[in-house]
C-alpha cells in the first residue's frame, strides 16, 4: 500500500472530523507548535481545529494542562497532555507530543525517544517511538507519525 502524503493525511483527518462533527486540539512539547502549524494548512480548519498549546517547560505542562509530577518523557505525560488540552480547549479529539529530541538524552531516555498521547471521545492511549537522526529529523518524523496516528484513530484503524 502506497504511503499517503502529508497533504492527503491532513485532508483525510479533516474529512473524518467534519463528517462526525468532532473537533481536534493539540498539546505540544517536543514539537513546539509544528503539529498545529502543519494541521493548520488543512481544509476548512475553522470548523474542526480548536487550537493548540505549546507547553515546553515542565511547569507549564503541570500548571496549564494538569500533568502530574514525574518524568515528562513518558507515556503517562503524553496521555495527560492529551487529556488536559482536550479539557482546556473543549475538543472531542486531541493528540500530544513529548520526548527527547536531542541532542543528547533527557530523563534517562536516549535522544529520539518520542511519546504520542491521544484522547478520542474520552478514550485515552499512547505509544512510544524511537527515531534516529538529528533533532530536526526527529521532529519531522514525529510530525509525520502524529498525522499517521490521527488518520488511523479517525478512520477506525489501530487504537
| Whole-number pLDDT of residue 2 | 65
Q: Would you say residue 21 has pLDDT above 90?
A: yes
Q: Using CA atoms, how far apart are residues 21 and 77, in angstroms rounded to an integer?
A: 28
Q: Mean pLDDT across the stretch 31-42?
A: 97
Mean model confidence pLDDT for the chain: 95
Percentage of residues in the chain having pLDDT higher than 70 = 97
Task: For residue 142, give the C-alpha cell.
Answer: 514525529
Domain that holds residue 133: 6-154
Q: Does a structural domain hold residue 1?
A: no
Strand order of the β-sheet with 123-130 is: 49-54, 24-28, 93-100, 113-120, 123-130
Segment 38-65 shows an average pLDDT of 97
pTM, entire model: 0.95
Q: How many domains does the chain have?
A: 1
**In this structure, are residues 96 and 82 in contact, taking their beta carbons and an 8 Å threshold?**
yes
Residue whose C-alpha cell is 496549564: 64
- Name the maximum alpha-carbon separation found in the chain: 43
pLDDT of residue 159 exceeding 50: no
How many CB atoms are closer than 10 A to CB 42?
A: 21
Query: What is the dihedral angle through the alpha carbons of 150, 153, 156, 159, rounded to the nearest 10 degrees?
Result: 140
CATH code of the domain covering residue 88: 3.90.950.20
The percent of residues above 90 in pLDDT, for the chain, comes to 95
In a domain, 84, yes or no: yes
- Collapsing DSSP to helix, strand or coil, 3 comes out as coil
Provide the pLDDT confidence category of residue 4 given band limits of 50, 70 and 90: confident
H or E stretch covering 53? strand 49-54
Going by C-alpha positions, the residue among 126, 131, 71, 59 that lies closest to residue 97 is: 126
Amino acid at each position: 500500500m502506497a504511503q499517503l502524503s502529508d497533504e492527503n493525511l491532513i485532508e483525510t483527518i479533516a474529512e473524518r472530523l467534519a463528517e462526525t462533527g468532532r473537533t481536534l486540539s493539540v498539546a505540544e512539547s517536543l514539537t513546539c507548535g509544528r503539529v498545529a502549524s502543519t494541521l493548520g494548512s488543512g481544509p476548512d480548519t475553522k470548523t474542526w481545529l480548536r487550537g493548540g498549546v505549546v507547553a515546553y517547560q515542565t511547569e507549564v505542562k503541570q500548571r496549564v494542562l494538569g500533568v502530574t509530577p514525574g518524568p515528562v518523557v513518558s507515556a503517562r505525560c503524553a496521555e495527560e497532555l492529551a487529556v488536559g488540552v482536550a479539557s482546556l480547549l473543549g475538543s472531542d479529539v486531541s493528540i500530544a507530543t513529548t520526548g527527547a529530541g536531542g541532542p543528547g538524552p533527557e530523563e534517562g531516555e536516549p535522544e529520539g525517544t518520542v511519546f504520542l498521547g491521544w484522547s478520542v471521545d474520552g478514550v485515552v492511549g499512547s505509544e512510544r517511538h524511537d527515531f534516529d537522526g538529528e533533532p530536526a529529523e526527529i521532529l519531522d518524523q514525529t510530525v509525520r507519525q502524529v498525522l499517521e496516528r490521527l488518520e488511523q484513530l479517525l478512520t477506525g484503524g489501530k487504537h
